[in-house]
Structure formats: structure tokens, C-alpha cells
Amino acid sequence: MKSSKGAEFERKISKQLSLWWSNGERDDIFWRSQQSGGRATIRRKKELTTANQEGDLTAMHPMGQPLIDLISIELKCGYPEFTIEGILNRTRLTKPILRLFIEQCEKEISKGRPYWWLIVRQHLRAEIILFDTPFRQWLRRENFSSWTELDRLSLKFEKWNLSCCRLEEFLNSLKTDRFREKLEEEK
């Protein structure tokens, strides 16, 4: 069962992304998927599909569906081992927490979405967003030049090349109208 801290974080990010996607007009476009994607996982084990329930967030309004069709959004809150030290210091018997998170993201996109976002928050810290090379290349290909100015941290971790920055800066750097237009063109 998800902790109240994790559920609270998911509600906060749902509202933040909704306001961003709607240019401040709506806070109800995105919301937590059922059991934070758990329902889809349970049904997948029975070889059943569940519409819009992969990942931690789903579209509750048709306006948000293009983003959810493009990106699986995973949210992680309150993992004290999610630090540079925690990523580097691992035993032979355990996987680093970042690897577990990325593997979960990749498992979610294997169901049909091309990209993933991992949004993480530590206690009393700003939210950060991580994504891998394919999404970064999409941003560059689609000429989101403001993003290239923002690229704060590139991280080579095992087989992944990740981009990372504060979520608020990332969202502010992407012009929502242009982002939505681009997704409509790709339909």
C-alpha cells in the first residue's frame, strides 16, 4: 500500500502538471492512476490490458491524453537512498535504487508509449525530473531550444544517458502550447 506521503506527492504533481498543461486554467487534467499503476500490473499478469493505467499518472480530461499517450510518468517520493552516494554505494546483492526506478520506467513504456519521465522528491527538497536519451533527442528534433539552455545535468548511469533538472525549471522551459501542438501533429 502506498504511503500517504507518496499519495500526497502524486496529488501535488498531478495538479502541477495539470496547471502547466492548461496554462494555469485547470488543475484536474491529470490524476493518480488506479493503485499508482498497480491495477494495470495485476491485470497484465493475467494477460489483460487496462486503458490509461500504466505509470503513476493518467489523464482525467481529454485535453491531457496526448501527453499520457507520449510519456509514462513515474513518481517517487521519500527514498532516502536516492542520493549520489546511494547510487554509487551498492552491495553485490542489491541493485542501485536509480536502476530499479529506470527499469520500472522502461517496463511501463514497453506497453506502447515511446518516452518516460521519472519525477523524484526527497524530503524538503525540490522535485527533479529525469529522462533518457530518446526523449532528449525528441526535444532537440522538435526544436525546443529553451530546453537545451536548461540542460542542467547529464548523467551516464550504467547503460543509460540521463538528463536531469529541477521539475519547475523544466516545465517553465517548455512552452505548453507549442508542446501540445507538436503532439497533435504527431497523431
Task: Quick: pLDDT tens for 32-45.
Answer: 986 444 444 453 44
Average pLDDT over residues 79-98: 77
The better pLDDT of the pair 31, 82 is held by 31
C-alpha 58/C-alpha 16 separation (Å) is 14
With DSSP H G I counted as helix, E B as strand and the rest as coil, what are the percentages for the chain, rounded to 5?
50, 20, 30
178 phi and psi angles, rounded to 5 deg:
-65, -40
DSSP labels for 96-157?
-HHHHHHHHHHHHHTTS-SEEEEEEE-TTS--EEEEEHHHHHHHHHTT-HHHHHH--EEEEE
Tell how far CA 182 is from the center of its chain: 19
- Nearest to residue 14, comparing CAs of 81, 70, 61, 66? 61
Q: How confident is the model at residue 8 (pLDDT cuts 50, 70, 90)?
A: very high
pLDDT for the residue numbered 19? 97
The pLDDT > 90 percentage for the chain reads 42
Do 75 and 9 touch, CB atoms closer than 8 A? Answer: yes
Residue 65 has pLDDT above 90, yes or no: yes
pLDDT for the residue numbered 84? 78
DSSP 61: S
pLDDT tens for each residue of 119-149: 999 888 899 999 998 998 888 888 776 666 5
Q: Please count the structural domains in the chain.
A: 1
The better pLDDT of the pair 88, 122 is held by 122
pLDDT for the residue numbered 86? 76
pLDDT for the residue numbered 12? 96
pLDDT for the residue numbered 117? 96
* Domain around 173: 4-186
Q: What is the mean pLDDT of the chain?
A: 82
Q: How far is CA 86 from CA 50, 60, 61, 92, 145, in A?
A: 34, 35, 38, 14, 33
pLDDT for the residue numbered 106? 93
Residue 55 has pLDDT above 90, yes or no: no
Average pLDDT over residues 50-68: 83
Q: How confident is the model at residue 87 (pLDDT cuts 50, 70, 90)?
A: confident
